[in-house]
Structure 1
Amino acid sequence: MSDAEARDSPAPDPVELPEGRLVGRVAFADAVRQGIGAAASQAWPMLWLVDDDFADWPLGERSVIAALNAWAQRGRRMRLLARDFSALRTLHPRFTAWRTTWAHLIEAHAVPQTSPHELPGVIWTADWTLERLDPVRCSLVASRAPERRVALHERLDEWWMKGRPAFAPTTLGL
C-alpha cells in the first residue's frame, strides 16, 4: 500500500468496548479488562481508576498488567482514588509492583472518611467511562456519551479534592 493509499484508508475502528447497562461481577471484570486494554491500544493519555478498595477488580492478572505496561509511556497520567488501598496491596501484588515501577505516571489519593460504597467504582477516560452503580448487585453503565463523561469527571474531581495522597510507591522504615 502506498503512502497516499494509507492516508486515504479509513482509520481503524476503536476497540470494541461495552456500552449500556451491564450486570454481574463477570461483566464488570470483563469491562475492566477491556477498558484497560483499550487504554493501551488507543494510547489514552489520562486514566482514572476509582473504587472503595479495588478488591474485586482484576488488577492482579497478568493480562491486565501487560496492558498497563503497554499503556505506560511518556506523557500518560493515571489517577487512583480509593477509600482504602490496603486490600489492593494485599490482593493485587502484581499491580502494587507495577505501581512502584511507574510511580512517576501515577497519583493516588485516599478518601478514608467516606462510607463503604459511597465512592463510585469507575474507569474514566476522555473517550469512554465505566461506572459501577451498585457494587452489591454489580450493576454498571459503560458509555462513550460526552455528557456522561463530563458529569462523571466533575464528580471525580470533587472526590479527588476531598482526598489526600496515599498508596505510596515505596515504604520507608527504620
Structure 2
Amino acid sequence: MTPSSTPLPSGRFSGREDFQALVRAALECAGAQGWRELVLSDADFWDWPLGEAAVIEALTAWVRQGQRITLLARSYDEVVRRHPRFVRWRSTWDHKIVCRRCAGSAPSDVPSLLWSPQWALQRLDAERCVGVSGDEPERRVLLKEKIDEWLLRRSTPGFPSTTLGL
C-alpha cells in the first residue's frame, strides 16, 4: 500500500526519524489526496526533511492542484543553509506560498507542527522530537486556533523568494 491509501498514524511519536517519516508521509498524502491547505511551522526547520527530492516531488504534486501552503518560522536561515532544493522550489512556486516570520519570539515558543484540515502533527518537545499526530477534529481545531494566533498577530511577512539588490 502507498501512503496515499494508508491512513496516517495517530498517537505519540518519539525521535527525529519518526518525526521526519511522518512529515514525508503527510506531504505525500497531501498531494495524493488533494488536501486543500497546509501550514508548516517551526522555529527554523533545520531538522525537517524539506530538501529531500521525494518531499519536493510531493509538494509539487500538491501545489499543482491549485493548493496553497503557509510557512511560519522564527528564522529561515537554516532553510537556506540546509535545504537548497526547497529554496529553489519555493522560488518557482512563490505565488502558492505564504511565508511568515516571528523574529522576536524565543525559538522554544514557536509551534513546531504540520497542520491540515485532514490531519495534524505537533512536536511537543522539538529538541527531543516528541509529539503527537492524528486526525481527531478537536486536536486539529485547537492547533488551527493556535497557529492562526501566530500567523495573524505574532508574525510578519518573511522569507522572500528573491533578494532584490541595487
Task: Give the alignment's TM-score, normalised by structure 1.
Answer: 0.90
1:120-163: CA deviation from partner (whole Å, max 9, x where unpaired) = 11100000000000011110100100011011000000000210
Aligned residues: 162
The alpha-carbon distance between structure 1 residues 74 and 22, as it changes in their structure 2 partners (threshold 3 A), is closer
Residue of structure 2 equivalent to 1:173: 165
Cα distance in 1 for residues equivalent to 2:158 and 2:146:
19
- Given that 2:119 and 2:133 are in contact with CA atoms closer than 8 Å, whether structure 1 keeps it comes out as yes
SS at the partner of 2:69?
A: strand
Residue of structure 2 equivalent to 1:66: 57
Residue of structure 2 equivalent to 1:78: 69
Residue of structure 1 equivalent to 2:155: 163
1:109 maps to 2:100: yes
Q: Which AA in structure 2 matches 1:27? A: D
Q: Which AA in structure 1 matches 2:141? A: V
Cα distance in 2 for residues equivalent to 1:16 and 1:32:
14
Alpha-carbon offset, residue 116 of structure 1: 1.5
1:28-55: CA deviation from partner (whole Å, max 9, x where unpaired) = 0000000101110010110001000000
Q: Which AA in structure 1 matches 2:80? A: R
Alpha-carbon offset, residue 16 of structure 1: 2.7
Cα distance in 2 for residues equivalent to 1:15 and 1:167:
34
1:56-98: CA deviation from partner (whole Å, max 9, x where unpaired) = 0000000100111111125311100001011111110000111
Residue of structure 2 equivalent to 1:152: 143
Residue of structure 1 equivalent to 2:89: 98
- Given that 2:34 and 2:65 are in contact with CA atoms closer than 8 Å, whether structure 1 keeps it comes out as no
**Match 2:30 to one of 32, 36, 39:** 39
Over the aligned positions, Cα root-mean-square deviation in angstroms equals 1.1
SS at the partner of 1:117?
A: helix
Unaligned stretches of 5+ in structure 2? none
Cα distance in 1 for residues equivalent to 2:156 and 2:29:
29
Q: Which has the larger radius of gyration?
A: 1
Task: Give the alignment's TM-score, normalised by structure 2.
Answer: 0.94
Q: Which AA in structure 2 matches 1:105? A: K
Cα distance in 2 for residues equivalent to 1:14 and 1:83:
34
Unaligned stretches of 5+ in structure 1? 1-12
Cα distance in 2 for residues equivalent to 1:114 and 1:61:
28
Residue of structure 2 equivalent to 1:28: 19
Residue of structure 2 equivalent to 1:9: none
Q: Which AA in structure 1 matches 2:77? A: S
**Match 1:123 to one of 95, 114, 128:** 114
* Runs of 4+ in structure 1 over 3 Å off: none
